[in-house]
Amino acid sequence: MILKKHHEMPERERERENGKGTVSEGVRVDYRIDRTDTVHLPRTDTLTPAARSERMSRIHGKDTRPEMTVRRLVHGLGYRYRLHRGDLPGKPDLVFFRRRKVIFVHGCFWHRHSDPNCKLARLPKSRLDFWRAKLERNRLRDIENHKKLTEDGWQVLILWECELRDVARLAEKIRSFLEDEQSQGH
């Protein structure tokens, strides 16, 4: 093996020497230890940190696909509502002010859907300590917001992302919640 001074090496070779992996379409392929051996190290995350960051940046709290599905359905049923009232705890997704009712559309992953049949609420495989703490804080905040709303006389319906597949059942659940004057929420 011929040793070259670091500044004489081509850039790609310097990156390999420094331990940077080769990247193809945001997926880390391998790590180069030296110029003769390629070692495949196990990684739990299949994306590079930059690709993971880009993907996570696309996640938003408003106007999500599940929320838009519910909004279109509720509007199609003839109900009118306000969105994300900042003066209410938790900024409910849909607010029916005159009825004193609110609907939250929760993503099963982010809000820890407790249904054992829900496959969307699984935990990530990497950084479990971080994710458990973060998702538990989300769950506890949801419980606190629900409590505050009910104490203020609001009725709350929580719709889970996995429930949106059966549109007829979802429509009946929403209609029942909004029309039942004695309903205490779900």
CATH of the domain at 126: 3.40.960.10
Structurally, the chain folds into a number of domains equal to: 2
Examine the pLDDT at 80 and tell me if it is beyond 80. Answer: yes
| Residue 185 maps to a domain | no
Could you tell me if 75 and 94 lie in one domain? yes
Number of neighbours of residue 121 by Cβ within 10 angstroms? 20
155 versus 8: the higher-pLDDT residue is: 155
Could you tell me if 39 and 98 lie in one domain? no
| Residue 122 maps to a domain | yes
Give the contacts of 162 (CB within 8 A, at least 6 positions apart): 108, 113, 115, 118, 119, 120, 121
| Residue 46 maps to a domain | yes
At residue 184, the pLDDT reads 46
| Residue 123 maps to a domain | yes
Could you tell me if 100 and 135 lie in one domain? yes
Could you tell me if 36 and 116 lie in one domain? no
| Residue 184 maps to a domain | no
Q: Rounded to two decimals, what is the model's pTM?
A: 0.65
At residue 84, the pLDDT reads 85
Average pLDDT of 93-108?
Answer: 92
CA gap 45, 126 in Å, rounded: 7
Query: What digits encode the pLDDT tens for the residues 55-65?
Result: 777 676 677 88
Contact between 45 and 56 (Cβ < 8 Å): no
* Range of the structural domain that residue 78 is part of: 65-179
| Residue 1 maps to a domain | no
Could you tell me if 45 and 91 lie in one domain? no
Could you tell me if 143 and 161 lie in one domain? yes
- Look up tokens 């949801």; give the residue: 142
Could you tell me if 22 and 71 lie in one domain? no
CA gap 99, 96 in Å, rounded: 6
Of the listed ranges 53-62, 84-93, 127-136, the least confidently predicted one is 53-62
Structure tokens at 62: 């408003």
